[in-house]
Structures are given as structure tokens and as C-alpha cells.
A and B are shown apart, each in its own frame.
Chain A
Amino acid sequence: MTDSRPVLTMTGISKSFPGVRALHDVNFRLFPGEVHALMGENGAGKSTLIKVLTGVYDTDEGTITLDGEPVSFSGPMQATAAGVSTVFQEVNLCTNLSVAENIFIGREPRRLGAVHWGEVRRRARALLARLDLDLDVSAPLGSYSLAIQQMVAIARAIDIKARVLILDEPTSSLDAGEVAQLFRIMRQLRDEGIAILFVTHFLDQVYEIADRITVLRNGGLVGEYLTAELPQLSLVEKMIGKELDVLEGIEEHSRRDLAALEEGTPLVAVSNFGRGGAVEPFSLTIHAGEVVGLAGLLGSGRTEVARLLFGADRTDGGQVAVDGTASSLRTPAQAIDHGIGFCSENRRAEGIVADLSVRENMILAMQAARGWLRPVPRRRQDELVDKYVKALNIRPADPEVPVRNLSGGNQQKVLLARWLITEPRLLILDEPTRGIDIGAKTEIQKLVTQLSDGGMAVLFISAELEEVLRLSHKVAVMRDRQMVAQLANDDTLDADRIMQTIASGSHREEADR
């Protein structure tokens, strides 16, 4: 595999944005028939490198060669035509179009100048069959889950005679079974001689699939390694550039006595909240200082629960009491008045306002609560923003940069800061660590612990059971849009038991203790 010549090389690549040096003198090469993992923390330059490669951005300096020929793509379309296909982190497909249309959009097979729809559907079915997917190709893409949409994006990418396939965090929204399916496809493509560039934050996945690893840090190249020769711990150290400071202290946290926490009036108590088609009626109490984990598979109704509690969607019925007084949570503004904050999992569509600066994004919720007539004084804004840029280690540390110029993980931190600034009493975090590197993940987990020690209640939603277990005092388990159990996180609770609950829906007897 290594004795052949690289299909793709990038040499001395540099790229700057206003206020940000995203890449500096980075080299990268990709051999045919390998899976090459590109690793680095948020803001290390992974996404930028891919966008430079596919022509989304111009390079400031450096050269790219494909099969030894220098190339410069003007955009992903041209790159795709040359055999370099990309599946971007956020699925870039049209959910209102059919599956088949999405696969062939922009390059539909034609007959006499008109689109040959029969051929489109036939070839779409053939492609999906290759990926072992059984879909109705005429159905709108939006009727399928995010995971399936991701697979369709890959189908679209490999249809063209791709020699290089770039997968930018394809697994961040997939569950374990779907990841396995994706990896099977990746191995198949690799064996066909396609070079696969794979970006992910999941270390286990890297060691499962990647042959070679390139590590970036702060826009610079750290090195290129064979996976077999790089132990996991040294990989992490190379990524964060310092000795790994593991998750000390967090472990004891959840062992605090749930009974003591749950004395007294709950901060928020909902009963029979539910919404037709989204989630079955459920009841849940959250006390001050309590971390409630919400576990369940993708699409099991976790996000829907969060949205109801925040008033983002309206409940069909049921009651809510805040501090023991009957109340209502019908709009986000109302929830915020009650001291509830909500970090959406979908930060691009429901979180950041890309046009606005980091500072404006951070103070948005606070400003909204005050009303437009009472602007937050500029000096106070600067104080708050400075504080959280430092506390959350947001890079670049320039609050006037449009938030769109930040990497995904840093945008996540900006959102977190937006809510922390409002000093909420209950903070709902929907997948706050998804698509985030290990360093930032640890920071966010520590933060949750600190906040709850300080008396803040947290509803913590995550697909990673270890994370939920580590942080929560109690775990509510979702299955098929139902809250099937609420388990106290005592010494007996472990990932296996949660998995069993997710799988079987039993343990109902322990609900609502």
C-alpha cells in the first residue's frame, strides 16, 4: 500500500482569514487504497484543509497535485469531476427533493436534452444497493433520518468515478450499527483502490478503520503516522500538544447522594408533557444542582423532550410547575424567563447567527431577555465576553470576528457562553460534545460538573453513554419516543444496564422514584 505513489499531495499549504491563520505550511498526502484519518482539535484546521483541497477556498500558498499533476479546483463540483469527492460534515443535500434527485442533482443523465428520470431512478437504486440501503428513491430525502441522509450523500459522492473520497465527520450523527455499516462500505471502497480521507473525533473509530493518521494542531502540521505505530495516548497528546489531563474529579461527582439532591421543591416538574408524533407524554422532575442525563438512540425522542421543556415546541397537554408553582412553558421566551437555557444540537440552523460577531452571538439571549430598549452596556458586554472567551478557551480569541469564521467546536462554545451569560437555573444541553475534540469535550464535561456543584440544574443529552453516566445523578432513558425509565445513577448503574433498558424498555418499575 505504501510502495505506490500518492494519488494526492498537498505541499506547503497556508490559508488565512481576517483575524485567523487557519493553516500554516501544511503538508498532506494520500495513497490509493488507504483510509487516512485527519486528526486535530477544533480549530486545528481540518475543515479548512479539506475546503482548500476541494476548492471551496483559495490557497494563499502551497501546491496540490493529483496523480502528479498540479491542480487547483475552483469548487467542489470541479473537484468532483476530477475524482475528488467530498461528503461534508453538515449534510449538504436538499431535503425537499427525492433521494434519486439528490444523488444526481447537477449531473442528471439526459436523453434528447431532457432529464431521463427512469434512468435517474434506476441508477440511484443500483448505487444504494451497493451500499446495502433499501430506500424508496422517489421519496423526499427529508422523510429519512439524518443517518440515512448521510449515506445518500456518500452514494452521491461515490457515483462519480471517485479516486479520492473525503468524509468530513461522517459518523457524528450515526449510531453504532450505522457506523459499522459505513465502515463496511469504506473498507469495500478502499479495497477497490479509492483513497479515503476520514475526519472524525472518535478515537476508537480511527483505530478501527484508519491505516494512517495525520495530526494538525493550531493550523500547523504535527506529523504523519502509521496507525499501528501510534498508541492512542500519544495521538491525543499530539492533538492537544500537552500531557493528557484525564477526567479526574468528575468520577466522584455523580456519586453524590441523589436523595439529598431531590429533597425539597423541584426546580422544574412536568407531568404528562408530550406532543403527537414527536414524543409520548412523560413526567420528569429536575432539582437545583441536579444533572439529569437523557440517554437513548438517535431519533428516540431525546431532542423532542428538550424542546418541550424549553417551549421550542408546544406540549399537547400536561402541567408544569416551576419552584412548585403552576406555570407554563409555551415559548422559548417564557422558558428563559423561568431561568431555562437550551443549547440545540443543531447549532447551524438553531444556534448561531452566522452573520453576527462572536460577541453579539454571546449576548443575544441576555439581550433578548432584557428587551431591545435596554441594551447591555458595551463595557459589560466586553467584560462578559472576555470572561467566557478565556474560560471556554474560544479560538480565535477575537470577539469581533463573525462567528461563521470559527470552527464547529468553537461555535459550540460560543453557544454555551450565550446561555451561561444568562445565568440559567436549568441548562438543557443537547449533544454539547458532538463533533467536538477530546480536549474541548473534557472542558465541557468539567464545566457541567462545576455548574451543578454551583447549584445549576442540567439536562444532559448525549449519545455517548459513558459521558451520560459520568455526569448524571439520574438517567432518563428514551426508547421509541417514550421515556421508558428513570434510573438513579448509583453504583449499580452502568452502560450495560442502560443499553439493556434501551433495548428492552424494561426497568419500568424503577421509573419515577
Chain B
Amino acid sequence: MNATMGRYRAVTGHRLFWPAAVLVVMLAANTIYRPGFLSIELKDGHLYGSPIDILRLSAPLILVALGMTLVISTGGIDLSVGSVCAISGAIACMYISKQSDQNSLVVVLTALAMALGVALVLGAWNGVLVAVIGIQPIIATLILMVAGRGLAQLITQGQIITINSEPFRAIGLGHLFTLPLAIFIALAAALLVAAFTRRTALGMIVESVGGNAEASRLAGIRSGRVIFLAYVLSAACAAIAGFMMTANVSSADGNAVGLWVELDAILAVVIGGTSLAGGRFFLSGTILGALIIQTLTTTVYAMDISPQTSLLFKAVVVIAVCLIQAPAFRARFARRRRSAPKPDTIADKPKEQVPA
């Protein structure tokens, strides 16, 4: 009995338990509404089905959220990721559209390298503003969030640039081993970021800086460098996400690409258990958070929830998820539940029983 309780506690106490439970509940609700929801079929050598769609569509968000996780862990925030998505997509599409052979792999790779390079510069810009000049992260990245949209417009000269490039299209819609290529890209990025932070000491140092910046400085950590690196990494992740978003539609719209993705990314990070105050970060949690958000979006479409109410529906679910996540809320709930069947606890002891 005790051992079972212990195991039960160990499972429910795991930090990924509640986000995972929410995801399972959402998938179950969808399956009840539409029994074929979880079915996957093989057509033309490709796997199709809602679960695959959710994975593929969540790939850009996962990428953005990975970078965001590191930034938030340092105690900062990066509002500019959406704009960076738009800029990198715009640069890649613009370059490809100017070439005679849009299907050349060399052309596409050059375009990607150029766009990624610019994104790194933008990340460095954020990093300098925050880590060197010392502007508050929310203000510093707000600059690029607003100005970046204009920059993307400038690059595309206010037009929606449409391209016809198979290699580029593959980033968003291609397949590998029967699965969408985007899934592998997101997976590879996740493994890379995980290796980059957990195989080196970067992760711990980021957590230390985010947890207590002054103590970290006095321990000899040059926190500026670490914070700078986090913003550069965040921009790089956003750039790859931007490629995916533009490749999905083979066009770059400076106004629409990656719009509001920063908010979804922040949400994914928070659902994943990383505190907005900085400190400990959880990459696996972030990925789960991104999947929850995409599943929610898919659910809204699948259940034919009217567009007028869909945002409200999403908001309600998100609030519920965040509350379930919060240990303080669960503790309050659990305390109430626990004290009910036990009349001998202090709180419930009736006054008459007290010896006078």
C-alpha cells in the first residue's frame, strides 16, 4: 500500500506529469468527438493522420520555444522571435526568387546560410542591448519585435514574395522515412540544444545566472557572455522556424510570418515548467508545451469551434493548464481534499470537542 502510494506520488510528482496528462486528455477528448482522430494511414509512402499533422505543425513552435527556454532561463525574455522568423524567411525567399534556377540545392543552401547569418546578427543585437548595455530584456527585444516587421517589409519591398523551389519547399512539406521532414528538423534542433546545454556546463551556468545573477557574478561567472549567447541561440532557432513557416506556403509575407509566435513560445516554456523568473529550465517540458498548444489549435479546428469563440476557448484551456501546473494551486486543492475525510486534523476539529 505504502509502496504503491510512493510510486503514485513519484509519478504525479514528476514535473512532466501534469503537462503530459493535459495532452492525453486533449487527445482523448478529440478521439471521443471523432473516433478516427488517432488513426494513421500510409498513403504513397507517407504517413497521414491528425497526430502526424500535430507533430509537423508544431515543429516551428518547438524550434522557437527551445531558444526561448534558454532566454527565459537567464531571467530574460525575447519578444523579437516572430520578427526574426519573418526576416529570415523574407531573406531566403527574396534571394531564391532572384535566381534563375530556383530548384538548385546550392541556391537554396546559400539562401539559408545568408538568412541564418542575418538572424545571428539580429540575435547579437539583442544580446548586446541586454547583456552589454543592460536594457531590460522586454524593452530591448521589443525594439526588434516592432522594427523587425518593418525590416521584413523592406526586404520584400512590401510584396508577398512567392517562390517555386522544391528543395526549399521540402523544409516545410518534405518527407523522410515516411514522416514529415519538419519533425526531424525539430527533433535534431532539440537534441542539439540539449547537447549544447547539458553536455557542456552552459545549462547549469544559464540556470545559475537566471537563479541569482549577483551570486553568479561573485562566483566568477561572466554572465554577460552567457546571456548574449542565449539571445543569439534564440534568434538562430527562430530563423530555422522562419524557414519552415515560409516553406509551408512557398512564400514570404513580412506581415504574417511568425506573427504572435513569441507569445505561443513563451506559453510553451511556461507550460513546460520553466519559471518566467529565470533559473531551472526544462527542454522536454517546453517541447511538451509546444505540442499542447498545437493540439489545442488542431482541436479548435477539428471540433468546428466557431472562429468567434475559438480564442476564448483557447484562453480557458490555457488558464486551466497553467493552474494545474502551479504547485501552489494544487497544494491548496489537495489540502482541502485531504482534510475533508480526516476529522481529526486540526482545522476540522469541531470546537465542542475541545476540553475547556
Contact = CB atoms under 8 A, between A and B. Distances in A.
A370 interface: yes
B346 A70 contact: yes
A336 interface: yes
Interface string A359-395: 0100011011111111110000000000000000000
A332 interface: yes
Interface string B334-356: 01000000000111010100111
Interface in A302-326: 310, 312
A350 B214 CA distance: 6
Contacts of A70: 346, 349, 354
Interface stretch (B38-46, B163-171, B204-212, B246-254): B204-212
A375 B201 contact: yes
A331 B223 CA distance: 12
Contact of B200 (A350, A354, A375): A375
A344 B208 contact: no
Contacts of A58: 335
A255 B220 CA distance: 34
Contacts of A332: 217-220
Contacts of A365: 219-220
A349 interface: yes
Contacts of B356: 68
B354 A349 contact: no
B222 interface: yes
B215 interface: yes
B102 to A, nearest CB: 40
Contacts of A353: 207-208, 211-212, 215-216, 279
A502 B212 CA distance: 35
A370 B349 CA distance: 58
Given A63-B346, A350-B215, A355-B211, A360 B204 contact: yes
Contacts of B279: 353, 355
A265 interface: no
11 contacts: A68-B354, A68-B355, A69-B354, A332-B220, A333-B221, A335-B220, A353-B215, A356-B280, A364-B208, A365-B219, A372-B202
Most buried by B among A71, A312, A336, A356: A356
Contacts of B335: 58
Interface of A: 58-59, 63-64, 68-72, 310, 312, 331-333, 335-336, 342, 344, 349-356, 360, 364-365, 367-376, 418
Given A354-B211, A360-B208, A336 B354 contact: no
Interface in B287-334: none
B346 A71 contact: yes
B205 A367 contact: yes
A329 to B, nearest CB: 12
Contacts of B347: 72
B16 interface: no
B85 to A, nearest CB: 27
A333 B220 CA distance: 4
A372 B196 CA distance: 10
Pairs of residues from A and B, 8 with the lowest C-beta to C-beta distance, nearest first? A72-B346, A368-B220, A336-B220, A375-B201, A355-B279, A355-B211, A353-B211, A368-B221
A364 B354 contact: no
A492 to B, nearest CB: 37
Contacts of B216: 353, 364, 368
A334 to B, nearest CB: 9
Contacts of A350: 214-215, 218
B208 to A, nearest CB: 5
Nearest to A342: B218
Contact of B201 (A310, A312, A367): A367
B98 interface: no
B227 interface: no
B201 A376 contact: yes
Contacts of B217: 312, 332
Most buried by A among B204, B279, B335: B204
A364 B221 contact: yes
A89 to B, nearest CB: 18
A351 B201 contact: no
B199 interface: yes
B100 to A, nearest CB: 43
A356 B214 contact: no
Contacts of B202: 372
A58 B356 CA distance: 26
Given A58-B335, A352-B212, A312 B218 contact: yes
Given A332-B217, A370-B201, A372-B226, 13 more contacts: A59-B346, A68-B354, A70-B354, A71-B346, A332-B218, A351-B218, A355-B211, A356-B208, A356-B211, A364-B204, A365-B220, A368-B221, A375-B200
Contacts of B204: 356, 360, 364, 367
A351 to B, nearest CB: 6
A372 B200 contact: yes
B220 A372 contact: no
Contacts of B219: 332, 364-365, 368, 418
A94 B220 CA distance: 28
